[in-house]
């Protein structure tokens, strides 16, 4: 695999996205790191990688989405892999329908669905020019199971799963489109819902086949593998330690 290949990972200053950026860089890819707000963490990560650039941008803004891709091309001259990791949620109990108001739906869908779409459409010409472009969307086990941090979040991930399949059917053979669907992963996302997180951690450790929660590195390895699996497209890969089985 050529070391000239370039990967753009949205939402990659911390957590899963940062682990993906490190995994891609370790394999010799040049990397575009992104975040909407955590600028210092993004700049530090990019500086620590062999050949990377940090770009601040909110993918729900079409100009920012286009600017991310433009920066990748200006800096590196090509784009081979797009990882749509940037996401947003609100921790709302599934039974609290009143709290899951229209503002919550719009806030989550603007990033998770519309932002993902904007990144894909901005990147398409360059992924086609690559000759072997690959898109990996970060979904969630909640896209297929009746669970998750909120109903709007779970529905947004179901939309990402189906977007993945539709685009895989449409964009082949030049571009492959897959999704990775993590279960509970130990990331900063859960700091704001520690009580729920700890209860879920205990249940998963006791009941799932792998007997542990996931790490960002677990997901990053799956993303790297799917991004380079030349005969795989339209797949939604569960990375949840077997949570979907129980």
Task: Please tell me which residue in 54, 153, 190, 224 is annotated as part of the active site.
Answer: 153
Q: Among this protein's residues, is 190 annotated catalytic?
A: no
Helix (H, G, I), strand (E, B) or coil at 204: helix
Please, where are the H alpha helices in the chain? 15-26, 39-48, 62-76, 102-109, 116-130, 151-171, 194-207, 216-227
| CB-based contacts of 242, cutoff 8 Å, min separation 6 | 208, 209, 210
The sheet carrying 6-9 orders its strands as: 52-56, 30-35, 6-9, 81-84, 133-138, 175-182, 236-239
Helix (H, G, I), strand (E, B) or coil at 56: strand
Q: Any idea which residues carry the catalytic annotation?
A: 153
């Amino acid at each position: 695999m050529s070391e000239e290949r370039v990967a753009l990972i949205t939402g990659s200053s911390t957590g899963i996205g940062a682990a993906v950026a490190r995994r891609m860089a370790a394999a010799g890819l040049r990397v575009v790191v992104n975040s909407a707000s955590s600028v210092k963490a993004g700049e530090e990560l990019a500086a620590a990688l062999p050949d990377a650039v940090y770009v601040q941008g909110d993918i729900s803004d079409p100009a920012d989405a286009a600017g991310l891709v433009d920066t990748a091309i200006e800096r590196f001259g090509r784009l081979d892999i797009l990882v749509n990791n940037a996401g947003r949620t609100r921790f709302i109990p599934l039974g609290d329908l009143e709290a899951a108001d229209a503002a919550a739906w719009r806030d989550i869908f603007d990033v998770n669905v519309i932002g993902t779409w904007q990144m894909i459409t901005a990147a398409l010409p360059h992924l086609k020019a690559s000759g072997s472009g690959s898109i990996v969307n970060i979904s969630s086990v909640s896209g297929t199971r009746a669970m998750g941090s909120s109903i709007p979040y779970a529905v947004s991930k179901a939309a990402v799963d189906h977007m993945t399949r539709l685009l895989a059917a449409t964009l082949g053979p030049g571009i492959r489109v897959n999704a990775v669907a993590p279960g509970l992963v130990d990331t900063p996302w859960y700091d704001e819902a520690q009580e729920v997180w700890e209860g879920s951690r205990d249940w998963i450790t006791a009941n799932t086949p792998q007997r542990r929660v996931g790490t960002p590195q677990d997901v990053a390895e799956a993303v790297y593998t799917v991004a380079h699996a030349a005969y795989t497209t339209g797949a939604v890969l569960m990375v949840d330690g077997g949570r979907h089985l129980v």
